[in-house]
Amino acid sequence: MRETEVKIRTLPDPVLREKSKSVTKITDAHRGLLSKMARIMYDASGIGLAAPQIGINECLCVADIGNGLYKLINPRILKSEGVQEIEEGCLSVPGVSVKVKRAKKVLIEAQDEFGNFITIDAEGLLARVFQHEIDHIQGRLIVDYVRSK
């Protein structure tokens, strides 16, 4: 089976709007899923992908802005600082870009694929990607940031 046959879910697929479940026991299935998500992300030339985007409502995401792959389980923001507002796109909202205001720096806590707790100090683009993927896990999409006039 070719990975490219896995379809990235797009709006208005309701799976994108569900709150994802925390992973309580990390198994080989999760490790396999994270690798598969990374391949799908690279195939789609994306810089981040969350599990709901392939139809799975679990707290998993991958990200790579060009300096290494992150595979995160149960990611959450411990601290955020500053503001950045930049046009953002999303593989699940094709053809749309939205100005999104996000924190400039975030401190992320997550588990790696073996269950170890890790913290990541991220800023700029990486901070933005993590916030975007955590939004996905909570059922939030970039279109929610469109300001009503």
Give the number of other CB atoms < 10 A from CB of residue 110: 21
Output 26 or 52, the one with its CB closest to Zn ion.
52
Our finding on whether 90 is near Zn ion (CB under 5 A) is: yes
Rounded Cα–Cα distance for residues 61 and 37 (Å): 8
Q: Pick out residues in 48-77 that bind Zn ion (CB under 5 A).
A: none
Our finding on whether 137 is near Zn ion (CB under 5 A) is: no
Output 73 or 90, the one with its CB closest to Zn ion.
90
Our finding on whether 47 is near Zn ion (CB under 5 A) is: no
Q: State yes or no: is 133 an active-site residue.
A: yes
Quote the least distance from Cβ 18 to Zn ion, whole Å: 15
Quote the least distance from Cβ 63 to Zn ion, whole Å: 11
Instruction: Note the residue count of the chain.
Output: 149
Q: Which residue is nearest to Zn ion (CB)?
A: 90
Q: How many chain residues bind Zn ion (CB under 5 A)?
A: 1
Terminal CA-to-CA distance of the chain, rounded, Å?
Answer: 47
Rounded Cα–Cα distance for residues 102 and 128 (Å): 7
Output 90 or 126, the one with its CB closest to Zn ion.
90
Question: What is the DSSP annotation of 49-106?
Answer: EEGGGGT--BSEEEE-SSS--EEEEEEEEEEEES-EEEEE--TTSTT--EEEEE-SEE
- Residues labelled as active-site residues: 133
Which residues of the chain form contacts with Zn ion (CB under 5 A)?
90
